[in-house]
Amino acid sequence: SQQGEEDPQALSIQEGENATMNCSYKTSINNLQWYRQNSGRGLVHLILIRSNEREKHSGRLRVTLDTSKKSSSLLITASRAADTASYFCATDALGAGNMLTFGGGTRLMVKP
């Protein structure tokens, strides 16, 4: 099974609302990353959080990491229609080099 698993699998919200996506993983990690994928496109790196960090911000994005629970969350505040995409977490497990393991993604739809 996937090292990282996102929850929910799909999320539909109105523009202006906040979107929260969660990721759980199984083994100890070096870092956890979040990526975004627009339909028919490649993945774009959003943010990386290291195992010794608990929270990180980048613009409207806020990522938290709880290594004791092996979970992370991605919060997008004041969502826009352009945020519609799939969001994936990826873990860099200890000893695995940079062989990222991805979850199945959360498909976010932001309605205008």
Q: Which residues bind other proteins (CB under 8 A)?
A: 2, 30-31, 33, 35, 40-45, 48, 86, 88, 90, 92, 97-102, 104-105
Q: Is the peptide bond before 8 cis (omega within 30 degrees of 0)?
A: yes
Q: Which is nearer to other proteins, 51 or 67 (CB)?
A: 51
69 phi and psi angles, rounded to 5 deg: -100, -5
List CB contacts of 50: < 8 A, sequence separation 6 or more: 30, 31
Closest contact distance (angstroms) between CB of 17 and other proteins is 23
**46's tokens:** 């959003």
Amino acid at 22: N
Closest contact distance (angstroms) between CB of 34 and other proteins is 11
Q: Which is nearer to other proteins, 85 or 110 (CB)?
A: 85
Closest contact distance (angstroms) between CB of 55 and other proteins is 19
Closest contact distance (angstroms) between CB of 98 and other proteins is 4
Q: Which is nearer to other proteins, 40 or 112 (CB)?
A: 40
91 sits in the region (left: phi over 0; alpha: psi -120 to 50; else beta) called beta
Tokens 């940079």, residue? 98
Q: Which is nearer to other proteins, 52 or 98 (CB)?
A: 98
